[in-house]
Chains A and B, each alone.
Chain A
Amino acid sequence: MAVESGKVTSFVVEASEYPDLVRKYHVSGVPKTIVNGTVEILGARPEEDFIRTAVGAAAPGASTVS
């Protein structure tokens, strides 16, 4: 996604090394993706489903998704 769009940045976070981020985002299972610091996507999703959810999260007024 980051290669495809200049609007996207992607950080892969090794959860066990960063407990502060794990606490901040309430990570209890992996993979867990946080979009723009607010919207969460749990588990692995099919490509288009994941991107649709993530792009939707970038829209104004997006709420938490799981």
Chain B
Amino acid sequence: MLAFGKSAGGHGYEERSMSEDLTQASDAALVVAIGRWRQDALAEAYRRHAGAVYGLAVRVLADRAMAEEIVQEVFLRLWDHPDRYDAERGSLRSFLLATCHGRSVDLVRSESARRAREEREHRQQAEAGYDLEHEVWDVIVAEDVRTALDQLPEGEREAIELAYFGGHTYRRVALMLDVPEGTVKTRIRSGLKRLRAGLAESGVRT
């Protein structure tokens, strides 16, 4: 077994050519650097995206300690398997969030007691509507996202929120909303497409 450890990046050409300004590097370049055991590249990816990952995990899990575990897991996975991110297929953020969401949902569904609690919370949340105003990261994008959400038919918005933030399957969402399963499937898909179109119209890159 050939030892080819992290210290390899500490000297020589990689150091010179890559560390100059990681804050200016593209996400794709960061992932390549992570593949070369560049801890500072992982740190930069963390700086850019950990807040969003944590925010989503907290939202789905309603539990800060578990959300922290998920954040740790998501970035360790990126460190161990940077190959799983394909820059041609989407942004690093959406990749990390998809990983985060999948794991969060697994946890939610594996803890039935928690699920019962979540259902109550998320039903209330869905009824109250999704308020992005308190969660502004970039005022303009947040505005646009809110506008696009507001323009969705009520049923579509509700289905997306219960599935995505509630961590429920579309079958459960159908039960919760008392509509046919097929309707929920369709609403989620058409709602996402409508959101994308709406966001594209207002110039948000998706």
Whether chains A and B associate is no
* Chain A residues at the B interface, C-beta cutoff of 8 Å: none
